[in-house]
Structure 1
Amino acid sequence: MQDWLDTWVTAGKADVITCEHSVNEIFVRPAWRHCVKKTVVDIHSSLYGTCQNQLQTGTAEKPWRDRLSLPLLKRYERRYTAKFTDLVVTTPEDQQQFQGQPGQQTLHVIPNGVDLTAFPYRSMDPGGHRLVFVGAMDYIANIDTAKFLAQDILPALRQRYQDAEVLLVGARPTDEVKALGALPGVTVTGAVPSVVEYLHRATVCVVPMRIGYGIKNKTLEAMAAGVPVVASERGLEGLAVDSPQRALRANTATDYVTAISRLFDDEVLRQELAKQARSMIEADYTWEQVGRHYEQVLSS
């Protein structure tokens, strides 16, 4: 890969270099910043910020390792971002992580998007008391979320609604996620042919994430599909959902039970949240719109 890129850039064939995620920054040589028009990195989210967040919330897999790694990650991000002319992040919160980096980079906030063809607005509200959470079930943030939802939120909710259930939808569930399927009302699906079908069957989509920076595709996709959302600050990061109201916020198990109960009991509220959220997605979060913003960064 490096030989191919070196040959390409040396031959003068590159006007702009765009790097997807910091994991690929290793292929971008510092000198290229001075021999092409622009070098752009689409960061997704801060490694330092994510590690710090996991330590603060007690969710780090290996806390001693991460405490030792934290200052190294800070230094690493300062070093690699200096190779680029432009930095792209998905939310204002992540933008703050990269303020004041060395060099003359321009910081841009460009969110992720949704394919509205793949996530059509559902034709009817199914009612009932079914929750859904979607995500790759081998990712630490989703594993923590699945456990919090199944072990802390759902049991309290089932005291009010005995038939309440949650679908944990996503590929590669770890053993600890699979074990959640033994709990009353919990179904672990593994990989499914169509995520949107599970979204359409749910009364409410819950995104009770406690860790993980960046905008959440799972939240955008549920909103596009017409499913009312209850989510944490992390699950709603970067989204304006309060005026008009497009989702309900919650951060503790008690908050979630209260918010979910409101939606279980109020079909009109479910429909209003779903309608407002879909309008926001159509206006600001399609891949076509996101692509135009990214193209402006590359061409300006």
Structure 2
Amino acid sequence: MNIFMLSSTFPYPPTRGGTQVRTFNLLKYLSQNHNITLVTQRESDVTDLEIAGLRDCVDNLVVFDRPSDQRTSAGILKKIQRLGKFIFTGTPPSVLNRYSLEMQAWIDNFVKSGKCDVITCEHSVNEIYIRPYFQNQVKTIVNIHSSVYGTCLNQLATGTSENQFRDKINLPLLRRYEQVYCSKFSNIVVTTAEDKQQLQQFNSQAEIAVIPNGVDLVSFPNRPTDPGGHRIIFIGAMDNLANIDAVCFFSNEVLPEIQKIYPDTTFDIVGSRPDPAVLLLGEKPGINVIGRVPSMAEYLHNSTICVVPMRTGFGIKNKTLEAMAAGIPVVGSDRGLEGLAVDGINTPLRALRANQPAEYIAAISQLFEQPELRYQLSTHARQLVETQFTWEIAGQRYEEVCLED
């Protein structure tokens, strides 16, 4: 089968963030049995060596330069203009800002040539390149990493919105946008049942498959020993708003209370591109802002506990799965553990759940004090990942969607 994959995010190396990891591992699986044409965009930090590495993974790689982002334009007039454009076009500025007319022309010609059997949009932001009539000629799939409407709704509900006034205006526009773009696709893929339920409200007849994220078990081996101690870690891209909110919340409201009980407690923040707000956290006692590292597994293995204190952001979190695969006991919020059966009746305990500061303090104290509990979580979590959340399993399910009549 000839599969045409669209990804405006350059998906290599697969260590840059959640979007890249999912896209790369799915294309890697599909390329074993199918002919893959990948069209993507490069940003200024993408090297020629990385392009060569990605080219080795597909049959045909086409790379365009990423358009310059206009969102940095300040001033009330610019903001009003962007909102007006959103209302008029029905497409969010975050999608329009990465749109390339040159890339659109190439895609139109490629589809017209009849050289593909399936088009997959890897992340909903790529929907802008899909013409409504494409689905009359070829199967079209959108791989939605998280609902933009659902995410905005959640941020308003939890008080984690960066700009409540703006997001209250955007909410009905995002609902309309998601409803319209989903109608262009033969099939929809989401990462959690929650997102499926959200999108099913827009179109009860839509073909929606739930395909969770996975983990590369070679890159994230089970840790050989429990290091003990009082070392806490958070992993993730540190220019991501949901991650920034998570580490700020934990550093300001939880960690100081933990350090009163366990004064030697440290908190490592590991992930690429730390935001200025994250770098400031490094001035607090015991907090280490480490940035991008060659091996995330190595840092996980040296930690006592991994926290996933997300207060916003939909979908299964790669960071949670990677920590579980590495055998690190996890303390996470409802958002951080979304889509994972980690507790409850007839479910082996695989992580501890916490949402409020007092709940984090209690859970972390429990794990610091009880090595047998750490071992229990570590063992059960690793088994869960091995049996349900590998990229091999996700790839098989994605291939099935591509092959369905």
TM-score, normalization: structure 1? 0.98
Equivalent residue number for residue 361 of structure 2: 257
**Alignment-mate amino acid for residue 130 of structure 2:** V
**Hey, what's the Cα distance between the residues in 2 that align with 1:102 and 1:153?**
41
Distance 2:381 2:261 in 1: 27
Aligned to 2:109: 7
**1:63 CA drift (Å):** 1.5
Equivalence for 2:252: 151
The AA in structure 2 aligned to 1:292 is: Q
* Matches of 2:133 and 2:337, distance apart in 1: 38
Q: CA–CA distance in 2 between the matches of 1:127 and 1:79?
A: 51
Contact preservation (8 Å) 2:200, 2:206: no
SS at match of 1:98: helix
> Runs in 1 of length 4+ with deviation above 2 angstroms?
100-105
The reply on whether 1:77 has 2:178 as its aligned counterpart is: yes
Cα distance, 1:136 vs. partner? 1.0
Match of 1:288 among 392, 398, 404: 392
Q: Which residue in 2 is equivalent to 1:164? A: 265
Equivalent residues in 2 for 1:78-227 (5 A)?
A: 78-102=179-203, 104-227=205-328
Distance 2:121 2:204 in 1: 18
Q: Which runs of no fewer than 5 residues in structure 1 stay unpaired? A: none
1:278 paired residue number: 382
How far did 1:103 drift?
A: 7.8
Rounded Cα–Cα distance in structure 1 between residues aligned with 2:219 and 2:203: 41
Q: Is the 8 A contact 1:82 1:103 kept in 2?
A: no
Letter in 2 for 1:4: W
Partner of 1:205, secondary structure, is strand
CA contact (8 A) 1:82 1:101 kept: no
Equivalent pairs counted in the alignment come to 299
* Residue 65 of structure 1 pairs with residue 162 of structure 2: no
Letter in 2 for 1:64: F
Deviation per CA, 1:103-136: give whole Å up to 9, x if none: 8420110000000010010110000000000111
Letter in 1 for 2:380: Q
- 1:189-210: per-residue Cα shift (whole Å, max 9, x none)? 1112211111011100000110
SS for the counterpart of 1:88 is strand
1:101 CA displacement: 2.4
Q: In structure 2, what is the Cα distance between the partners aligned to 1:176 and 1:41?
A: 34
Q: Distance in 2 between matches of 1:60 and 1:257?
A: 25
Partner residue, 2:330: 229
Q: CA RMSD in A?
A: 1.0
The normalised TM-score by structure 2 is 0.73
Identical-residue share of aligned pairs (%): 57
Shift of 1:159: 1.3
> Which consecutive residues of structure 2, in runs of 5 or more, have no partner in the other structure?
1-102
Q: Which one-letter code corresponds to 1:289 in the other structure?
A: I
Cα contact 1:132–1:168 (8 A) shared by 2: yes
Partner deviation per Cα, 1:148-206 (whole Å, 9 max, x = no partner):
11111111111111111110111111111111111111111111221111101110000
Could you tell me which amino acid in structure 1 is paired with residue 121 of structure 2? C
Mapped partners of 1:193, 1:73: distance in 2: 37
SS of residue paired to 1:151: helix
Residue 83 of structure 1: CA displacement? 0.2
2:133 corresponds to 1:31: yes
Q: Distance in 2 between matches of 1:103 and 1:259?
A: 40
